[in-house]
């Protein structure tokens, strides 16, 4: 499984990096919308929306919301900032949902409604944050590559580093430093505190290295380290929340589209929570 996972990542990563660095924001946002809507389609499955017509209508409604956001934010990034901020607020509320493991765990209509609303609150702010980061700092560095492009790559690399660092640190050191204690045993029993620490350290190192490429000064590095750590922590919240949905639905993966990784949502769960935090944190810290 590890070999398949690594090979799939090696195939996908160059395409993702090339798109981030070379595409204009409008084109990247369109490509990201497709990926995020695929993830939302899988989210509907976890919310137990089994009827294809219902899922299609719900997906079209979210796509329409994206189109309306583009229309309403023409010439200004303020609306994107507001939606990203709403996303940060939602993921803070998601912490309470994670603590209340059984909330909306049954199969009643009201439970599905909560999960559908959560899907929109996860997908739209992440998409707005992606466009917001990519469109900022329009100063060109070389060719079509601009500062905002590198900052978006930094945000995503922090999430990837946190996920990979946690995976390998958990495999190597899990159970050695904190005994039998687990991060969230009812939601994701395999996640260890050692893995969390390894992921945080890896995310901070990667964030510092890439921030230097973005032009961050030495004086800004403490702020970068803080932002990388908080972004990585929120990516864990996103990961755990999807694990909670899968537990409620009784499935192992959100889909089978990506070999060794499961579905699209399985790869984007951490990104959904991390991007709004990175976008807002970057502005607050003056990076």
Provide CB contacts within 8 A for 72, sequence distance 6+: 79
- So what's the pLDDT on residue 129? 97
- So what's the pLDDT on residue 67? 94
- So what's the pLDDT on residue 278? 98
Q: Which position has the higher pLDDT, 257 or 218?
A: 218
Mean pLDDT for the chain overall: 88
- So what's the pLDDT on residue 1? 46
Express each pLDDT in 78-122 by its tens digit.
999 999 999 999 999 999 999 887 776 776 667 788 899 999 999
Q: What is the mean pLDDT of residues 6-11?
A: 65
- So what's the pLDDT on residue 258? 59
* Residues paired with 192 in a beta bridge: 182
Total residues found in the chain within this entry: 287
Place of tokens 């994701």: 188
pTM value is 0.93
Q: Which position has the higher pLDDT, 138 or 100?
A: 100
Express each pLDDT in 149-201 by its tens digit.
999 999 999 999 999 898 888 788 766 777 777 777 888 888 888 889 999 99
Which bin fits 146, alpha (ψ -120 to 50), beta or left (φ > 0)?
beta
- So what's the pLDDT on residue 103? 76
């Amino acid at each position: 499984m590890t070999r398949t996972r690594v090979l799939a990542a090696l195939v996908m990563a160059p395409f993702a990096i090339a798109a981030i660095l070379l595409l204009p924001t409008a084109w990247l946002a369109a490509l990201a919308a497709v990926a995020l809507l695929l993830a939302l389609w899988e989210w509907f499955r976890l919310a137990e929306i089994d009827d294809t017509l219902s899922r299609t209508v719900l997906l079209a409604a979210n796509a329409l919301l994206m189109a309306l956001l583009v229309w309403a934010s023409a010439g200004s990034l303020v609306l994107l900032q507001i939606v990203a901020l709403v996303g940060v607020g939602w993921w803070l509320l998601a912490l309470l949902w994670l603590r209340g493991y059984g909330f909306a765990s049954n199969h009643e209509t009201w439970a599905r409604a909560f999960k559908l609303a959560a899907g929109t609150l996860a997908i739209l702010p992440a998409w707005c944050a992606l466009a917001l980061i990519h469109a900022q700092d329009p100063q060109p560095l070389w060719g079509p590559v601009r500062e905002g492009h590198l900052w978006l790559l930094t945000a995503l690399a922090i999430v990837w580093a946190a996920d990979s660092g946690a995976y390998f640190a958990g495999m190597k050191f899990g159970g050695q430093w904190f005994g039998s204690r687990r991060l969230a045993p009812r939601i994701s029993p395999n996640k260890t505190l050692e893995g969390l620490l390894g992921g945080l350290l890896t995310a901070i190192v990667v964030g510092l290295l890439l921030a230097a490429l973005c032009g961050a000064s030495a004086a800004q590095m403490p702020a970068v380290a803080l932002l990388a750590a908080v972004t990585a922590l929120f990516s864990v919240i996103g990961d755990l929340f999807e694990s909670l949905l899968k537990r409620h639905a009784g499935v192992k993966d959100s889909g089978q589209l990506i070999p060794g990784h499961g579905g699209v949502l399985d790869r984007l769960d951490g990104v959904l929570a991390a991007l709004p935090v990175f976008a807002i944190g970057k502005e607050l810290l003056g990076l």
